[in-house]
């Protein structure tokens, strides 16, 4: 095939930063790409996957049904390309037959979605801290990319050329940081503004969100997820000075409701738990630590806080509630109501009114033993006294701080109102506290343990009826799921597992319909897209985060020893793998 190859090197003299855009462009690729409007983001073409979880509601569902239960035996690898080494949590995006992917090492690829042929590549240098990233955003003629040195760049979708670059300013700190600021979450374009969350894991003053001008990249507003002492919520930090408050990282992308014009974000807890362990018992002062472990609803144009709901005040266990906020209409009491639902690591779901944040309901998958009851009116949670850190004893708490549900997202079939949640059934021996420096500043020890009466199956996909809260079925096996789930209109649910497999389940009963060896650990958010009537399923492998590569594997290897199915697995290396029905 004749290819017109162009090489454009753009050197930007800003400090020591050098950005290089290299692209090999087919003659007709610019013509076939169409700009993306607000209307398309709100209601995308069935064959496209334009946002992190495909749609603003973060449901992770494909309306395509060509790949179905009767022909899935014919699903086979269509193409595969090698990717760069490094941690990542990638989500490919597809529009009109062109795929965009942020790989490791701050590279961005545009590919022919039917063959994997590279159309252009952008490389951002220097790479900075190798933090995994969830993805990118598309809007108009732009690909919007967060980088590893705290910059957000906008690229031309047709060529990968730089349109603008914005460096997110961060506070200066006298002491060296244990971990740097980073941009893990994919940006989102909502009502003409680029929304980007900031991870500030152990950094004084905590995480925040910024709104950037879509055309220039200029910062329009900033919302701090750690309440300032002199602002609303500032009295919930046991009178700590601002420089002694930390956490509230915003590292999972937003969801957005265009009708309500509200963007929904989740926030992480703090690791500096010792100053918050006990209340000061002073009037007007609490240790709830806003806005950690909360859902915050913001106006994209201004960053104004419309409402918030704190799911777990004063988290002493590192059991984040930072994950996806999914928007769905439910018909409770016969009246359809738009809700936002989310679950932290405990896999305990809270259901909130999308417009007001009013608490509506909760449901529990039965994995956790920390919350003993929930107030049906307020959603306030009663904590098991044995879960409170102390200096005398340790207790078996479920789930483990790096297990339960984690960043691999659930998917929702909007037609059936069924949710499919990836889970790891691993607990922890928690405590006692000491002066030893551990992850949490109480000094509490955290040791992974199997659940009581564990049968050795640590992986679980749980199907939940959202209308009733019923646990409909579960699929359990030794290896935990480590990708997001992907539901499809044909009733096939896809998920990647820690033992290098890609699995398809029947949405009615959880029966395994198909499995494929991937060659490396799946570490991403799988998608399904179409080109000219043909359906594809794509997943990134071999760029595992710490969560995959060490944490979960070490637990299970430790529990099972030589019998662990995760020992000595092949490592084929980073790749983007795409499947389709074979034509044979």
Give yes or no for residue 360 having a pLDDT over 80: yes
In this prediction the pTM is 0.94
- Closest to 142 in 3D by CA, of 201, 187, 105: 187
Q: Which bin fits 113, alpha (ψ -120 to 50), beta or left (φ > 0)?
A: alpha
Give yes or no for residue 183 having a pLDDT over 60: yes
Quick one: pLDDT at residue 578? 98
> Do 499 and 428 share a domain, yes or no?
yes
pLDDT tens-digit series, residues 498-538? 999 999 999 999 999 999 999 999 989 999 999 999 999 99
**Among candidate residues 125, 143, 166, the one where a domain is terminated:** 166
CA distance 213 to 46: 29
Sequence-distant (≥ 6) Cβ neighbours of residue 550 within 8 angstroms: none
Residue 172 lies in a domain: no
Which domain CATH number covers 70?
A: 2.140.10.10
> Do 21 and 97 share a domain, yes or no?
yes
> Do 240 and 149 share a domain, yes or no?
no
> Do 285 and 397 share a domain, yes or no?
no
pLDDT tens-digit series, residues 283-308? 999 999 999 999 999 999 999 999 99
Residue 219 lies in a domain: yes
> Do 47 and 68 share a domain, yes or no?
yes
> Do 286 and 424 share a domain, yes or no?
no
- Closest to 41 in 3D by CA, of 322, 197, 263, 340: 263
Looking at the chain, how many residues does it have? Answer: 584
**3-class DSSP assignment, residue 424:** strand
pLDDT tens-digit series, residues 33-82? 778 999 999 999 999 999 999 999 999 999 999 999 999 999 999 999 99
**What is the span of the domain harbouring residue 272?**
177-323
> Do 81 and 96 share a domain, yes or no?
no
Residue 349 lies in a domain: no
CA angle 361, 508, 49 (to 5 degrees): 80
**In which order are the strands placed within the sheet that holds 208-213?**
188-190, 193-198, 208-213, 219-224
Residue 304 lies in a domain: yes
Quick one: pLDDT at residue 546? 75
Residue with tokens 């600021």: 181
Give yes or no for residue 152 having a pLDDT over 70: yes
Arithmetic mean of pLDDT over the chain: 92
Which domain CATH number covers 311?
A: 2.40.10.480
As a dihedral over the C-alpha atoms of residue 483, residue 548, residue 572, residue 187, rounded to 10 degrees, the angle is 60
Q: For residue 123, what are the CA distances in angstroms to 23, 148, 153?
A: 10, 12, 11
> Do 14 and 114 share a domain, yes or no?
yes
| CB 88, CB 543: distance < 8 Å | yes
Sign of CA dihedral 131, 309, 58, 166: negative
Looking at residues 454-466, what average pLDDT do you find?
97
**Among candidate residues 300, 323, 346, the one where a domain is terminated:** 323
Q: What share of the chain is helix, strand, coil (3-state, %, to 5)?
A: 10, 40, 55
| % residues pLDDT > 90 (the chain) | 85
Q: What single DSSP character describes residue 271?
A: S
The CA R_g of the chain, rounded to the nearest whole Å, is 23
Quick one: pLDDT at residue 130? 81
Confidence bin at 18 (pLDDT 50/70/90): very low
Residue 143 lies in a domain: yes
Residue 66 lies in a domain: yes
CA distance 312 to 310: 6
Residue 424 lies in a domain: yes
The count of structural domains within the chain is 3
Residue 367 lies in a domain: no
Quick one: pLDDT at residue 333? 63
**3-class DSSP assignment, residue 228:** coil
Give yes or no for residue 21 having a pLDDT over 50: no
> Do 249 and 154 share a domain, yes or no?
no
> Do 20 and 69 share a domain, yes or no?
no
| % residues pLDDT > 70 (the chain) | 93
**In which order are the strands placed within the sheet that holds 512-517?**
61-62, 486-488, 492-496, 501-506, 512-517
> Do 453 and 522 share a domain, yes or no?
yes
pLDDT tens-digit series, residues 468-506? 999 999 999 999 999 999 999 999 999 999 999 999 999
**Among candidate residues 305, 323, 341, the one where a domain is terminated:** 323
> Do 109 and 217 share a domain, yes or no?
no
């Amino acid at each position: 095939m004749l290819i017109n190859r162009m090489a454009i090197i753009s050197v930007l003299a800003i400090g020591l930063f050098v950005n290089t855009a290299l692209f090999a462009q087919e003659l007709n690729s610019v013509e076939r790409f169409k700009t993306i409007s607000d209307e398309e983001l709100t209601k995308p073409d069935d064959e496209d996957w334009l946002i992190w979880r495909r749609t603003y509601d973060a449901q992770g569902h494909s309306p395509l049904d060509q790949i179905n239960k009767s022909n899935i035996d014919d699903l086979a690898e269509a193409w595969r390309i090698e990717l760069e080494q490094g941690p990542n949590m990638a989500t490919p995006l597809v529009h009109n037959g062109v795929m965009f992917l942020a790989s490791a090492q701050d590279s961005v690829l545009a590919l022919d979605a039917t063959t994997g042929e590279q159309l252009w590549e952008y490389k951002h240098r220097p790479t900075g801290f190798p933090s995994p990233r969830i993805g990118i955003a598309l809007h108009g003629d732009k690909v919007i990319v967060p980088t590893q040195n705290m910059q957000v760049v906008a690229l031309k979708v047709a060529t990968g050329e730089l349109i603008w670059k914005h460096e997110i300013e961060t506070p200066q700190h006298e002491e060296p940081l244990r971990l740097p600021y980073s941009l893990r979450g994919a940006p989102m374009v909502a009502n003409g503004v680029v929304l980007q969350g900031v991870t500030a894991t152990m950094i004084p003053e905590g995480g925040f969100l910024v709104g950037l001008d879509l055309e220039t990249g200029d910062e329009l507003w900033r919302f701090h997820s750690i309440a300032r002492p002199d602002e609303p919520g500032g009295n919930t930090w046991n009178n700590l000075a601002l420089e002694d408050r930390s956490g509230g990282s915003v590292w999972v992308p937003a969801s957005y409701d265009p009708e309500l014009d509200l963007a929904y974000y989740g926030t992480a807890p703090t690791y500096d738990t010792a100053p918050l362990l006990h209340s000061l018992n002073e009037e007007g002062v609490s240790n709830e630590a806003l806005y950690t472990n909360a859902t915050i609803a913001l106006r994209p144009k201004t960053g104004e806080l419309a409402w918030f709901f704190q799911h777990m005040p004063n988290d002493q266990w590192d059991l984040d509630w930072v994950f996806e906020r999914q928007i769905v209409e439910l018909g409770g009491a016969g009246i359809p109501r738009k809700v936002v639902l989310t679950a932290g690591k405990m896999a305990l779901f809270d259901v909130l009114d999308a417009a007001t944040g009013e608490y509506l309901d909760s449901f529990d998958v039965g994995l956790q033993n920390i919350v003993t009851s929930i107030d049906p009116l307020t959603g306030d949670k009663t904590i098991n006294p044995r879960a409170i850190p102390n200096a005398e004893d340790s207790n078996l708490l479920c789930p483990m701080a790096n297990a339960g549900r984690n960043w691999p997202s659930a998917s929702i079939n909007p037609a059936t109102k069924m949710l499919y949640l990836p889970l790891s059934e691993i607990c922890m021996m928690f405590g006692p506290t000491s002066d030893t420096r551990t992850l949490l500043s109480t000094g509490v020890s955290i040791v992974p343990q199997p659940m009581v009466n564990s049968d050795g199956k640590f992986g679980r996909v749980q199907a939940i009826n959202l209308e009733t809260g019923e646990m409909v079925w579960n699929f359990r096996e030794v290896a935990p799921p480590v990708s997001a789930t992907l539901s499809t209109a044909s009733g096939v649910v896809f998920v990647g597992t820690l033992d290098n497999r890609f699995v398809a389940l029947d949405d009615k009963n959880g029966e395994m319909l198909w499995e494929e060896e991937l060659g490396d650990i799946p570490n991403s958010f799988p998608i399904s897209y179409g080109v000219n009537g043909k359906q594809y399923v794509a997943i990134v492998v071999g760029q595992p985060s710490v969560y995959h590569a060490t944490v979960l594997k070490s637990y299970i290897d430790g529990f099972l020893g030589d019998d662990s199915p995760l020992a000595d697995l092949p490592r084929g290396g980073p790749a983007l793998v795409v499947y389709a029905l074979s034509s044979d």
